[in-house]
Amino acid sequence: DIVMNQSPDSLAVSLGERATMNCRSSQSLLNSINNKNYLAWYQQKPGQPPELLIYWASTRESGVPERFTGSGSGTDFTLTISSLQAEDVAIYYCQQYYTTPLTFGGGTKVEVK
Amino acid sequence: QITLKESGPTLVKPTQTLTLTCTFSGFSLSNGGVGVGWVRQPPGKALEWLALIYWDDDKRYSPSLKSRLTITKDTSKNQVVLTLTNVDPVDTGTYYCGRPRGRLIDYWGQGTLVSVSS
């Protein structure tokens, strides 16, 4: 199984400031044939199901604000919220869909400082 | 509009079998490339992928749970059923079904909370 590790476990950021979180996979998620990274980011607010934010490591899902940016390739990935808004308080999960079993990271909890 | 809704018991006794149903609308499992998957989340913990079934009856399972899981589909009813045998308190959590785009879940149900307790 591909193991996904996220860091930090939690971070507190002031409103309007940048939030950065990381995700590392135990093997490369880059498909050399199509040059795509099979890495997604989800946002989960309390009592709600996850919501897809980013796929192919850097493609925003339709309707996702531009302040959310995904980057990285291979085994190291980053999700950045450029200017934290109150509604961004949530847990963020990375997930690999390169192969089954699909696996998720442990999550990064984002709070307002 | 794509919607999914999970249903099933809220309380199950240890060693019993848990049966959950995902009823969906807005897409059909008779169409090529379409699938439905299940993910669960213990209280306060991370997401865990369980199983996927595709339009052609291709099924994928979490290796750690494969011996206890079965996923089936009823295309005419727009339903997918997940069964988990010999449940234990560690199986307590919220169970979500979702529609994958390839292997990526882009639509999720609201989830159903299942407690395993005697």
Q: What is the pLDDT of residues A37-84, one digit of tens each?
A: 999 999 999 999 999 999 999 999 999 999 999 999 999 999 999 999
Dmax of chain A from CA atoms?
Answer: 43
Nearest CA in chain B to A55: B104
**Contact check, Cβ <8 Å, B106/A107:** no
pLDDT at B62 over 90: yes
Chain A hits for B104, Cβ within 8 Å: 40, 52, 55, 95, 97
Angstrom distances, CA of residue A55 to CA of A18, B33, B53: 21, 18, 21
Give the pLDDT score at B12.
Answer: 98
Give the pLDDT score at B101.
Answer: 87
Q: Which of B96, B103, B110 sits opposite A97 (nearest CB)?
A: B103
Q: Which of A1, A93, A97 sits opposite B102 (nearest CB)?
A: A97
Query: How many Cβ pairs within 8 Å bridge chains A and B?
Result: 53
Give the pLDDT score at A12.
Answer: 97
pLDDT at B53 over 90: yes
**Contact check, Cβ <8 Å, A101/B47:** no
How far off is chain B from A68, nearest CA to CA, in Å? 17
How far off is chain A from B64, nearest CA to CA, in Å? 9
Looking up tokens 């149903």 gives B21
Q: Which of B46, B49, B64 sits opposite A102 (nearest CB)?
A: B49
Give the pLDDT score at A33.
Answer: 95
The beta-strand segments (E) located in A1-113 are: 4-7, 10-13, 19-25, 30-31, 36-37, 39-44, 51-55, 59-60, 68-73, 76-81, 90-96, 103-104, 108-112
**Contact check, Cβ <8 Å, A104/B104:** no
Give the pLDDT score at B102.
Answer: 84
Tens of pLDDT, residue by residue over B65-105, are 999 999 999 999 999 999 999 999 999 999 999 999 888 89
Give the pLDDT score at A99.
Answer: 93
Give the pLDDT score at A82.
Answer: 97
Give the number of C-alpha atoms closer than 13 A to the C-alpha of residue A20, restricted to the C-beta side: 5
Give the CA angle between residues A55, B53, A35 to the nearest 5°: 30
Give the pLDDT score at A31.
Answer: 96
Residue to substitute from B22, B36, B47, interface A, most A β-carbons within 10 A = B47
Q: What one-character DSSP code corresponds to residue A17?
A: S
pLDDT at A21 over 90: yes
Give the pLDDT score at A103.
Answer: 97
Tell me phi and psi for residue B115, to 5 degrees.
Answer: -110, 135
pLDDT at B32 over 90: no
Distance CA(A4)–CA(B30), nearest Å, equals 33
Order of strands, sheet of B18-25, starting from the edge strand that comes earlier in the sequence: B3-7, B18-25, B79-84, B69-74
pLDDT averaged over chain A?
97
Which 72-111 residues of chain A touch chain B by CB within 8 A?
Answer: 93, 95, 97, 100-107
Give the pLDDT score at A5.
Answer: 98
> How large is the average pLDDT for residues A17-41?
97
What tokens does B87 get?
């449940």
Contact A79, A54 (CB under 8 A): yes
pLDDT averaged over chain B?
96
